[in-house]
Structure 1
Amino acid sequence: MTMVMSWAEWFGKDGLGLAELVKNGEVTASELAAQAAAAIKAVNPQICGVVEIFEDAVSDATVNGANPEGAFAGLPFLLKDLGPTLAGQLQEQGSLYMKGNRPTSDTFLTTKMKTAGLNIIGRTTTPEFGCCSSAENPALYVTRNPWNTDFTSCGSSAGSAVMVGAGVVPLAHATDGGGSIRIPAGVNGGIGLKSSRGTFSIAPAASDFTSVVSTQGCITRTVRDTAAFVDNCRGGAPGEFMPYWSPDEPFLNLIKRDPKPLRIAVSHEWGPYKSTPHIVSELERVAHFLDSLGHHVEWIKPSIDFEKAYTAQTACYITNFAQTVNNLLRMRGLERPPGDLIEPMNIRIWEQGKDATYTERADMQLAFNETARAFGEFYEKWDIVLTPITARETPPIGTTEYLTMTDNPSALDWFFNLWGFFAYTPFSNLCGTPGLSLPLARHANGLPLGMQIQSGLGRDGLLLQLAAQIERAIDGKWNLGDLPKIHVTAIA
């Protein structure tokens, strides 16, 4: 079919840029959807990031309720196959057990996204229940890194990250319970914000049991798209268990100004975990760059009982995921997970966590509180903490030690090994604070390496301000100006 623009022109516009074309009458939202669908069909066989295209939403950009007057004016958008639901469309959560699951109503956040003008045209891959470092179950799909398809996309927002990384869509929905926005963004060359607690709705199904650590969001290619998504999609539904906050000024306005000179703490040795020498050298390079922008940069780490915090975080995940599985079993009247439908580590997590006591959860919360207070005190003296996104290199496809397909007999051992890889992202989930992954560095093997900036509760705008300053300083050339091997601009 005939495209409304070349692939170079398509990639040259971010989400707000494409929306502007619609608002000016230069293209229609349905034409954008058709071009996005063509991009999916061209690159998906190589990287497998999209489970399903909603063809009716491609043909008619308003069929799912996208508001043509919204900020994104009918922009094609992909929904992670986990979290918010779209009435009438499948949500299978990366699991054979959930095959055919078709929610009958929208979640509140879905209505916010549609009001913002986002046209949901498909769903993206995720590991089973989001509990894994990578979307790799050959019985379902294997999502691959567009920079080198021999390597993983990481996760859990795997499909969204590779589709944004490959230029298919300028932004896509993602979720983050321990780094699941920031890690795949960092691995695939995107921008990923894990927002402060109290930003995005969790209604109606989720509660304080899980939302203590989990949040919603998106992966993008530009800071302003991230700012616009948060500005337009934030806010709680009636009956949320906690207050929802808004900044004094929309983020889209705020990011037009550079932040004042900031106090930036740089570190990578967090308790038992530290980065590889090459990652440390990249961290040093980015720290020098921030210093050149006029910020005070110093190597110093928060005074935290890291081992206690990692132990509490592990208890949180095991008990949370165990109850996720438990609730799904109740739906079908089953007493235990079927081994042919639920992945091995998720069954072990269920076995480990299903009978946890209130005292164990209370002890976990006490450790959460101690950690959050310590980070809070640190953020009274320092504006930003800079770390890498990961402590190790991105694994090749099939590295089972990080997958829920592993034969590791111990859920505890599996999680602690995972923290050795994802050492720097989980504590902003524990504390409810914001973290932002920026595509500023590269692994020794050439794959993208995200750098993470974190700050205190409610300082999301400060992170975006700094990110926008960086973006202007590099003339928008994230990923050192390079593109991945699998990319829309390579479509014949």
Structure 2
Amino acid sequence: MTRRDMLGTSVAALAAATATTAKADMQPNASPQAGILDDYDALGLAKLVRDKQVTPGELLEEAIARAEAMNPLFNFMEQKNYDFARAAIKQGLPQGAFTGVPWLLKDLHTYLEGTVTQNGSRFYKGDVATFTSDLVKRHEQAGFVIFGKTTCPEFGLTGTTENKVTGDTRNPWNPHYISGGSSGGAATAIAAGVLPAAHATDGGGSIRIPSSCCGLFGMKPSRGRVPMGPPHTEGWGGLSVEHAISRTVRDSAAVMDVTWGLEPGSRYSAPAPDGTFLSQVGRSPGRLRIALMVAPLSHCPVDPECAAAARAAAHLCESLGHYVEEAAPVIDVAALGEGAFAVISASLAVEIENRAKATGIVPGPDVLEPITLAFLAYGQHVSGADFVKGNNAFQAAAVAMSNFMQNYDVILTPTLAEPPLPLGQIGLSPGVNFETWGKRAAQFTPFTQIANMTGQPAMSVPLSMSSKGLPIGIQFIGRYGQEALLFRLAGQLEQAAPWKDRRPPHLTAA
């Protein structure tokens, strides 16, 4: 059977299997025959295209068929730009590292001219972009074929992907549980077998949280590594960054190679690596000094399975020759929490007010979710002094972390304090007051935000599973600008404890 035959067979089998899904329980029975999208990562698909074993059009149509089959089950497609993708192939694709590989953008402040970006919100419903983001231009120059946008919570404000525009995005490992947020749609699409990697963003853990929930690899880059604009070159006062979620480490590294670099007007520029990021994968990281931090700086409780997974990862690192000891930096967590709340709320309030002035749409419960409205109300009363205090707290934390990491190469933590939550607990329409919601959301994600505040790179590595069969990720935080070292460590872990073929059992090919 040729690769082209396998493409047709796998799509037909998937469509037939999906047609018999038990809808009431939302548990798919699909067992599609293995196809190219199962067998290869993004770099592997690109090589098949270069070797003329498959065409970009054939890859696109399989990805579309899989998206159409899986989206009714897991709800990860915010926008479908199928004709746009077909037209791009017809016009001729640039020759790059990923020519012909299907690609999805996250539907959050990432723009593709002539297509809709609605940020997971009714407030932006149907808003058509008049320009293309610099990052997306780099995706296109690398040869990616953009065929849609993935779901996110409204404005990326929480660690689950549930919104009033598209509904709940579900975890392919168990559709009664969250896929994480805010890049939950991207992680779900990958875990469901639609494509091997996808664009994602991270303002407080939004790459690492869904990577952990869905059993994938997620690298949050250093501040200034990857372009953010236009129109702005930073988000949430520098907290937010953009990159990708992937099944393999090498895909993440190669995507960074084709996207990193200073953008016009940016105030930040992460230092150049020693060679390409892809060349780091497979290189020895040397004997690393690793600080194990099982308890979060906020002192909130950690689920025993997540704590045990972090300790197991520490033992794995020791078996690979690394030195591990329990240690943690001393940081004013209260000041950081207040600062993040002020900066995010004020940034959101300005965005909503600008949109209201431009469109005449009145912010209210018909177009914004309850928690978003609470952020807006708070942000409208944040003073300039409050914003500066927040930024000062971030800088103080960055100095403290830098000093702490003079003695350590990386910090190892659980990515999350709990395995994936059931749907309905930390969405933006929770049925509880703002304070109660905030405490619950913070308890789930106490480990991820610090790297956004300090600007450091951090990654979630899929090294464990819960007793309920749900993925548990392990976070590694590196020094500023040292993604290369993290990629070397990730490649070593991937070889020692492979995860690429670990798939949701009900979606595994027969």
TM-score in terms of structure 2 length: 0.90
Structure 2 residue identity aligned to 1:258: S
**Mapped partners of 2:475, 2:91: distance in 1:** 35
* CA shift for structure 1 position 445: 1.7
Structure 1 residue identity aligned to 2:99: A
* CA shift for structure 1 position 242: 2.9
Could you tell me which residue of structure 1 aligns to residue 24 of structure 2? Answer: none
Could you tell me which residue of structure 2 aligns to residue 440 of structure 1? Answer: 463
Q: Say yes or no: does 1:315 pair with 2:342.
A: yes
1:188 aligned to 214, 218, 231, which one? 214
Structure 2 counterpart SS, 1:454 = strand
1:35 aligned to 62, 77, 87, which one? 62
For structure 2, which runs of at least 5 residues remain unmatched after alignment? 11-32
**Mapped partners of 1:433, 1:244: distance in 2:** 10
* CA shift for structure 1 position 66: 4.4
Q: Say yes or no: does 1:477 pair with 2:499.
A: yes
* CA shift for structure 1 position 424: 0.5
Q: Say yes or no: does 1:108 pair with 2:134.
A: yes
**Mapped partners of 2:217, 2:50: distance in 1:** 25
Q: Say yes or no: does 1:409 pair with 2:429.
A: no
For structure 1, which runs of at least 5 residues remain unmatched after alignment? none
Q: Say yes or no: does 1:175 pair with 2:198.
A: no
**Mapped partners of 2:153, 2:345: distance in 1:** 16
Q: CA RMSD in A?
A: 2.0
* CA shift for structure 1 position 41: 1.3
Structure 1 residue identity aligned to 2:427: L
**Mapped partners of 1:353, 1:138: distance in 2:** 22
Deviates more, 1:95-104 or 1:58-67: 58-67
Could you tell me which residue of structure 1 aligns to residue 229 of structure 2? Answer: 203
Could you tell me which residue of structure 2 aligns to residue 373 of structure 1? Answer: 399
Whether the 8 Å contact between 2:103 and 2:145 is mirrored in structure 1 is yes
Structure 2 counterpart SS, 1:380 = coil
Whether the 8 Å contact between 1:152 and 1:394 is mirrored in structure 2 is yes
Could you tell me which residue of structure 2 aligns to residue 489 of structure 1? Answer: 509
Deviates more, 1:43-52 or 1:271-280: 271-280
Whether the 8 Å contact between 1:345 and 1:407 is mirrored in structure 2 is no
Could you tell me which residue of structure 2 aligns to residue 50 of structure 1? Answer: 77
Could you tell me which residue of structure 1 aligns to residue 243 of structure 2? Answer: 217
Whether the 8 Å contact between 2:213 and 2:419 is mirrored in structure 1 is no
* CA shift for structure 1 position 345: 0.8
1:94 aligned to 120, 125, 140, which one? 120
* CA shift for structure 1 position 138: 5.3
Could you tell me which residue of structure 2 aligns to residue 332 of structure 1? Answer: 359
Structure 2 counterpart SS, 1:458 = coil
Structure 1 counterpart SS, 2:354 = helix
Map 1:228-239; keep pairs closer than 5 Å.
228-239=254-265
Whether the 8 Å contact between 1:263 and 1:297 is mirrored in structure 2 is yes
Structure 2 counterpart SS, 1:489 = coil
TM-score in terms of structure 1 length: 0.93
Structure 2 residue identity aligned to 1:37: I
2:490 aligned to 455, 467, 472, which one? 467
Structure 1 counterpart SS, 2:376 = helix
Structure 1 counterpart SS, 2:504 = coil
Distance 1:207 1:139, change over 3 A: closer
**Mapped partners of 1:272, 1:363: distance in 2:** 23
* CA shift for structure 1 position 324: 2.5
* CA shift for structure 1 position 195: 0.1
**Mapped partners of 1:96, 1:64: distance in 2:** 33
Whether the 8 Å contact between 2:461 and 2:475 is mirrored in structure 1 is yes
Query: Number of aligned pairs?
Result: 482
Distance 1:174 1:64, change over 3 A: farther
Whether the 8 Å contact between 1:80 and 1:160 is mirrored in structure 2 is yes
Whether the 8 Å contact between 2:106 and 2:200 is mirrored in structure 1 is yes
**Mapped partners of 1:64, 1:154: distance in 2:** 36
* CA shift for structure 1 position 353: 0.9
Structure 1 counterpart SS, 2:224 = coil
Could you tell me which residue of structure 1 aligns to residue 17 of structure 2? Answer: none
TM-superposition CA deviations, 1:449-469 (whole Å, max 9, x none): 111100110011111100001
* CA shift for structure 1 position 102: 0.7
2:473 aligned to 420, 431, 450, which one? 450
**Mapped partners of 2:93, 2:436: distance in 1:** 45
Whether the 8 Å contact between 2:236 and 2:344 is mirrored in structure 1 is no
Structure 1 counterpart SS, 2:104 = strand
Q: Say yes or no: does 1:165 pair with 2:191.
A: yes
Structure 2 counterpart SS, 1:216 = strand
**Mapped partners of 2:104, 2:92: distance in 1:** 14
* CA shift for structure 1 position 137: 3.0
Structure 1 residue identity aligned to 2:440: N
Whether the 8 Å contact between 1:148 and 1:447 is mirrored in structure 2 is yes
**Mapped partners of 1:374, 1:176: distance in 2:** 22
Map 1:269-418; keep pairs closer than 5 Å.
269=295, 270-333=297-360, 337-399=363-425, 402-410=426-434, 412-418=435-441
Distance 1:209 1:390, change over 3 A: closer
* CA shift for structure 1 position 157: 0.5
* CA shift for structure 1 position 318: 2.0
**Mapped partners of 2:401, 2:86: distance in 1:** 49
Deviates more, 1:266-275 or 1:379-388: 266-275
